[in-house]
Amino acid sequence: MNLTHSSTSISPALSDLLNDCSIDRVMAINCEWEIIAWNATSELLTGLNRQDVLGKQLTEVFPSITNDLEMRAAIESAFGGYKTYLPSAAGRFNRHNIENHFIPLKDGRRVVAVMNIMHDVAHRIKAETQLQNLNSALAEKYSQLEKLSEELTSFTSITTDNIREPLQYIYTSLELIMKSEGRVLGDSSKANLRRMQVSLNRINRLIEDITELFRINSAIQTNVPVDLNIILEKVKQAFQRKISERNVTITCTELPEVKGIAEMLQLLFQNLIDNSIKFRHEERSPVIEITSSVVILNKDIAGHDVKGNKHFCVSFKDNGIGIPAEHLQKIFTMFVQLNDKKKYPGSGLGLTFSRKIMDTHKGFITVSSNVDLGTTFNCYFPIQ
Per-residue pLDDT at 2 exceeds 50 = no
Residue 234 DSSP label:
H
For residue 128, being part of any structural domain is answered with no
* Tens digits of residue pLDDT in 257-298: 999 988 889 999 999 999 999 989 989 999 999 999 999 887
pLDDT band at 125 (very low <50, low <70, confident <90, very high): confident
Sheet arrangement for strand 98-107: 35-38, 25-30, 110-120, 98-107, 84-86
- pTM confidence score: 0.53
* H helix intervals, 228-347: 228-238, 240-245, 262-278
Residues 172 and 51 in one domain: no
Dump pLDDT digits (tens) for 258-268. Answer: 999 888 899 99
* Residue 77, CA distances (Å) to 22, 62, 96, 107, 352 in order: 24, 19, 21, 17, 68
φ/ψ of 96, rounded to 5, equals -70, 110
Instruction: Answer with the residue of higher pLDDT: 82 or 216.
Output: 82
Q: Are residues 38 and 176 in the same domain?
A: no
Q: Within this chain, do residues 313 and 282 fall inside the same structural domain, yes or no?
A: yes
The per-residue pLDDT for 145 is 72
Is 358 in the same domain as 319?
yes
Over 80: is that where the pLDDT of 202 sits? no
Which carries the bigger pLDDT value, residue 153 or residue 272? 272
Angle between helices 187-217 and 122-181 (to 10 degrees): 170
pLDDT confidence band for 86 (50 / 70 / 90) = very high
User: Cα separation of 331 and 342, whole Å?
Assistant: 18
Q: Residue 307: which pLDDT band, with cuts at 50, 70 and 90?
A: low
* Whole-number pLDDT of residue 13: 55
pLDDT digits (tens, 9 = 90+) for 169-198: 788 888 888 888 878 888 888 788 888 877
- Number of domains within the chain: 3
As a whole-number percent, the residues of the chain with pLDDT over 70 amount to 81
At 288, which CATH number? 3.30.565.10
Q: Which one of 203, 220, 237 terminates a domain?
A: 220
Specify which of 89-93, 160-164, 258-262, 343-347 reaches the highest per-range mean pLDDT: 258-262
Predicted local confidence at residue 212, as pLDDT = 66
In a domain, 7, yes or no: no
- Domain of 184 in residue numbering reads as 137-220
Residue 282: is it exposed, middle or buried by C-beta count within 10 angstroms (0-12/13-18/19+)? exposed
| Claim to verify: residue 326 and residue 264 sit in the same structural domain | yes
What confidence score (pLDDT) does residue 127 get? 85
Residue finishing a domain among 167, 192, 220: 220
For the chain, the average pLDDT equals: 83
Question: Residue 353: pLDDT above 80?
Answer: yes
Q: Are residues 216 and 226 in the same domain?
A: no
37 lies in the same domain as 87? yes
% of the chain exceeding 90 in pLDDT: 43
pLDDT at residue 5, rounded to an integer: 35
- So what's the pLDDT on residue 302? 62
Q: How confident is the model at residue 222 (pLDDT cuts 50, 70, 90)?
A: low
**Of the residues 220, 243, 270, which one is the last residue of a structural domain?**
220
Q: For CA atoms 86, 88, 90, 93, give the dihedral sign.
A: positive
Residues 207 and 229 in one domain: no
Task: Identify whether 132 is part of a domain.
Answer: no
Say if residue 144 is in the same domain as residue 201: yes
Q: Are residues 239 and 382 in the same domain?
A: yes
